[in-house]
Amino acid sequence: MKTLTNKFLKPLSAMLTLGIEMIRNTDYKILTHYMLLINQVSSIQDILNYVGICLHEIFNYRMVGYVIKDSQQVNIWIDPMTSKDAFEQYLINDGFIDNTKKEYIQYIEHEAIVEEDDIRIQYSNILFYEMEHEGTITRLYLLPLKGLMNYHKDIIQTIMKTVAIRLSVMQRMLRLNMIAAIDPLTGCYNRREMDRKMEQSFANAKRHEHELSVIMFDIDHFKKINDTYGHQSGDEVLKSVSKTVLKEIRKGDILARYGGEEFLLLLPETNKRMAIMIAERLRQQIHQMNVNVNGIDINVTASFGVASLTVDMNGQEELIKEADLKLYEAKTNGRNQVMPHVDIDKIFLNVHSEIQSNLNLLNTQFASTVSLALGTGSTLH
């Protein structure tokens, strides 16, 4: 009987081993395919999308979240069907993120990577895998839908290691690009990067017929500041001016140090009237600055030239040239002013008049609608 049992068990065991080996080989082929894809893409969204698809195809596991944490911020990718607040609270309860530093959290936006049933997540069932690489900690959070085989842990470790190395390479490239794009003294963009952004913005504005304006401004009597107070004081003036302007401009506006004491401000979706108002506000803010270096107060003013995109302009050089000409006019007309010169109070009155006209039109339309409804016996909803 024992001999007969062994006769059947041995082939069955061999077939089972062969089947597991075939599944294993298939899983590693899938893994290799997605690891190659991960090393070809250059965005965190694409990397983590491939991770999610890979895990789904190999394990039929659901990737609940992926957290990337360094000394400066926490980036979180979560399943679109998962509550942000619930997952965030789970991380806080777990001690992985600090409840008092939630402002450092950024979410990686994306769409659903695979169509899955909307199941209620039991956080007690979640598994996580952690890896640290060059000061960055990454955590993969999974919801198991079936048991793991022995080699599956090796696959997960391979995924974690590949992602960690890829993110590290991307961060180094990003830092190098930022170093190449940023003026080290003022912290705003340098001329080369501004020229690149100007080219993109100009082409986009022309293509979609959008508004686009630029402001070129120059610190008045900057050479005299250097000669009187020293170049270190001049550097402090440059840093103070850029800091003041960066604080005042809107999200989406782009500031660059374009020359020695010359700055260029790019204003997408902005017409000339609005650009002049922005320039005048910046002029006033700079004029009110008090730069103190070694106990000495230095008064600073700046001159501004404003230009806006017109239909006859064929390149961003023409737009910058127009702003430069207006800056020259501001300098020759006495400095500490904005050109083209307009009556700011008159602009505000015109804006107020436009708003009032629109309100009057709305009131008239509403009154007509009410009158019509009352006359016909209708009910307004």
User: Which pLDDT tens digit goes with each residue over 140-182?
Assistant: 888 877 677 778 888 888 988 998 888 888 878 877 887 889 9
Note whether 157 and 245 are same-domain residues.
no
Residue 350 pLDDT class (50, 70, 90 cuts): low
Which stretch of 149-163, 312-326, 351-365 has the lowest confidence by average pLDDT?
A: 351-365
Shared domain check, 246 and 145: no
Range 48-57 average pLDDT: 86
Domain co-membership, 78 together with 151: yes
Under the banding of pLDDT at 50, 70 and 90, the label for residue 341 is confident
- What pLDDT, on a 0 to 100 scale, did the predictor assign at position 264? 97
Are 202 and 176 contained in the same domain? no
**Domain assignment present for 60:** yes
Looking at the fold, whether 84 and 151 belong to one and the same domain comes out as yes
- Flag whether pLDDT at 378 surpasses 50: no
- Catalytic residue flag (residue 88): no
Identify the pLDDT of residue 204: 93
pLDDT above 60: residue 352: no
Q: Write the DSSP string, 298-357.
A: E---EEEEEEE--TT--SHHHHHHHHHHHHHHHHHTTSSSEES---HHHHHHHHHHHHHH
Which stretch of 36-40, 177-181, 236-240 has the lowest confidence by average pLDDT? 177-181
Residue 360 lies in a domain: no
Give the residue with greater pLDDT, 236 vs 4. 236
- Specify if 349 maps to a domain: no
Does 329 map to a domain?
Answer: yes
Q: What is the Cα–Cα distance from 230 to 293, expressed in whole angstroms?
A: 10
The residue out of 133, 155, 180 marking a domain boundary is 180
Half-sphere exposure of 292 (CA within 13 A, CB side): 1
> Where is pLDDT greater, at 224 or 167?
224
CA distances from 227 to 135, 176, 234, 332 (A): 45, 35, 9, 22
Q: Which residue has the tokens 């999610």?
A: 52
Within this chain, do residues 159 and 65 fall inside the same structural domain, yes or no? yes
pLDDT (0 to 100) of residue 368: 65
Tell whether 211 and 142 lie within a shared domain. no
Of 72-76, 210-214, 300-304, 374-378, the poorest mean pLDDT is in: 374-378
Q: Please name the residues in contact with 372: beta carbons below 8 A apart, sequence gap of 6 or more.
A: 378
Q: Is the same domain home to 28 and 176?
A: yes
Q: Is 291 found in the same domain as 196?
A: yes
* Assigned domain for 12 exists: no
Residue 167 sits in the same domain as residue 257 = no
Q: Is residue 357 part of a domain?
A: no
When the pLDDT of each residue in the chain is averaged and rounded to a whole number, the result is: 83
Rounded to two decimals, the pTM is: 0.59
- Mean pLDDT along residues 59-83: 81
Name the domain count of the chain: 2
Tens digits of residue pLDDT in 86-131: 888 888 888 888 776 666 777 877 555 545 444 566 777 788 888 8
Please report which residue ranges of the chain form alpha helices under DSSP H.
Answer: 2-38, 44-59, 84-94, 152-181, 191-208, 222-229, 231-248, 272-287, 316-332, 344-376
CATH of the domain at 44: 3.30.450.40
What domain range includes position 110? 22-114+122-180
pLDDT score, position 210:
94
Establish if 381 belongs to a structural domain. no
Is a pLDDT exceeding 60 seen at residue 351?
Answer: no
Catalytic residue among 88, 193, 261, 322: 261
Q: How far is CA 373 from CA 176, 359, 362, 376, 377, in A?
A: 66, 21, 16, 5, 6
Contact 260, 238 (CB under 8 A): no
On whether both 133 and 51 belong to a single domain, the answer is yes
Q: What is the CATH number of the domain that holds 219?
A: 3.30.70.270
Q: Average pLDDT for residues 249-270, to the nearest whole number?
A: 95
* pLDDT category of residue 85 using cuts at 50, 70 and 90: confident
Give residue 359's pLDDT band: very low, low, confident or very high (50, 70, 90).
Answer: low
Name the least confident of 1-10, 60-69, 204-213: 1-10
Based on the domain organization, do 28 and 165 belong to the same domain?
A: yes
284 occurs within a structural domain: yes
